[in-house]
Amino acid sequence: MAIGQTYKNIQRMQTILNILFKHGFGHFIERLNLQNFISYSKISSLVLRSETVTPSEQFTFNERFRMALEELGPTFVKFGQVLSSRPDFVPEAMTLELKKLQEQVPPFSYYEVKSQIESEFNQPLSEIFSDFSEKPLASASIAQVHQARLEDDTEVVVKVQRPKIDIIIDTDLNILLNLALLLERYVAESKAYQPVALVEEFAKAIKRELDFNLEAANTARFYHNFFNDDTIRIPMVYWSLTSKKVLTMEQLIGFKLDNIAELETHGFDCTVLAQNLGESFLMQVLDHGFFHADPHPGNLVAIIGNRIGFMDFGMIGRLDEETKESLATTVIALLQRDYDRLTNEFLQMGFLSEKTNLKSFRDDLIDFIEPYHGRSLKNIEIGAVISKAVEIAVKHKAHVPPDLMLLGKALLTIEGVGRQLDPELDLVELGTPFSFRIIRRKLSPARFLKSTYHLVQESGDLFRILPKQLKGIFTKLEKDNLKVIFHHYGLENFIRELDRASNKITVGIIISALILSSSLLINAGTGPYLFSYPAFGLIGFSLAAFFGIWLVVTIVRSGRF
């Protein structure tokens, strides 16, 4: 089984590299020393060493990258979508191109849907649902959604995972991680973008999406959070009909939020809808610390009564109490134009390192924020503000945590949808009461007592452990048993190249020895004979020729003469 899987991985690697080469990334493949995986029927070593191929003359680098990801399939399309939300990792021009990525995945057959459901619940489909639509409502790379009806006539939607998609994604993730490792090893400039960390973050996210039990738990938590809110609807999960690969939920009947004319025809007040949408999202962020990270129009519906329905909770973000407080303090510092406090808040949140020039960062903040003061808040686009903030963060090499990047992307989306409904929507004004409420909660006596209790408890732990640790250090010093370990960084490539060079020199010496000894044997004329020549001499010359050709081919392939 392991051998079979390894063979599939190699085949998939060859497919991936051939597609990358097709779209003009031959030079990139060569830098990673992956030429041997390329199909030699499609390329030559001469083409491999060229920096450009035909596609680069027709499309830009970013366009070719996006086209390659689309051809590589679901895992890579989703990876590109993640990259498009990380302007701190990739240039703005590339993020704009990656936002065009489309999941060009046809629906899988009703027979496969039926088999998947029946295998998950060990029952015939007809005994689980009184009616089940063969035609899917929607189809995506990981799953597709069908309408169905329970035995009590309740209308539900059933999300069914694509057959064997987990195996495909696991294979692609392994290859992506290996490519990221090779990038960091051979392409020095890539280390600034932390490709391995990015792939690991993506792997965690997509594996969470593969477990529908997690999505069901997220949905249930949202349902609980908004249970008493008359302005928001969250679908109820049917746990008895939910598993890792099948998710059954209540069907929300409503209208798309991006069709204003239809909403007005059915009597909706778009201003109220926009306010309910904005307030519900701010509540998720600043009250619950648990927010919908992908609130695009396809995941939102308008329900009679000017209510907003949220759907599809596969991608969510989490904020701890400390981060929520920092966000609230940031909003208030912005309103009060307190730049020192703002800079300190960014430092405490871990955005900035000790290497950051705080004065330069503060000056950039002032230049960035001051033009907005004196303008009506409703005329300030949060999307533009976030984009500029990310630009400053990249300039000062600030580290933005993944959940805050998700929050930025979600805010951009909410602002876009909300201002379609009501151009006067002002998320800053809506968020100010939430921020002051968090600050009051932070300064409450109960919170102070709780913090003091934790501080005393941690101090007690420190004073209990510290004497033992100090005693251990001094004991090792006394016995000359203290070891200091040094790690050398950046020498791996040098050592590897040195090993390769020494191996080639060794092979060269062996070839020379074979040629010399074979010449002596032939001159000596000792038997046995082959074609009237001493056999051992001919064998020696043949081996020397074989190793010589192999050495020349290896040097030519490496491109180093």
Amino acid sitting at position 42? K
404 C-beta neighbours (distance < 10 Å), count? 17
∠ CA 31-37-42 to the nearest 5 degrees?
100
Helix, strand, coil content of the chain in percent (nearest 5) = 65, 10, 30
Estimate the crossing angle of helix 195-210 against helix 212-225, to 10 degrees.
80
Q: Which phi and psi angles does 158 have, rounded to 5°?
A: -120, 120
Q: How far apart are CA 124 and CA 311, in angstroms?
A: 28
Residue 536 near residue 521, CB atoms below 8 Å: yes
HSE (side-chain half, CA atoms, 13 Å) at 145? 15
Maximum CA pair distance of the chain?
A: 107
Q: How far apart are CA 546 and CA 441, in angstroms?
A: 79
End-to-end CA distance of the chain: 42
Q: How far apart are CA 300 and CA 256, in angstroms?
A: 7
Q: Which phi and psi angles does 226 have, rounded to 5°?
A: -110, 20
The two tokens of residue 239 are: 């746990």
Peptide bond into 91 cis (omega under 30): no
Coil, strand or helix at 146: strand
Which helix (H) or strand (E) segment holds residue 155: the answer is strand 155-161
| Pairing of the two strands 232-233 and 307-310 | parallel
Q: What is the CA radius of gyration of the chain?
A: 31
CA neighbor of 234 nearest in space, from 280, 270, 279, 274? 280
Amino acid sitting at position 411? L
Which value, to the nearest 10 degrees, does the dihedral of the CA atoms of residues 229, 231, 232, 236 take? Answer: 60
363 among known catalytic residues:
no
Residue 305 near residue 254, CB atoms below 8 Å: no
The active-site residue, picked from 172, 294, 422, 426, is 294
∠ CA 176-178-182 to the nearest 5 degrees?
115
Q: How far apart are CA 203 and CA 428, in angstroms?
A: 34
∠ CA 548-549-555 to the nearest 5 degrees?
90
Q: How far apart are CA 412 and CA 95, in angstroms?
A: 14
The two tokens of residue 220 are: 């249930």
Q: How far apart are CA 258 and CA 125, in angstroms?
A: 35
Q: How far apart are CA 351 and CA 108, in angstroms?
A: 44
DSSP 8-state symbol, 308: E
524 C-beta neighbours (distance < 10 Å), count? 10
The two tokens of residue 193 are: 């973008």
Catalytic residues: 294
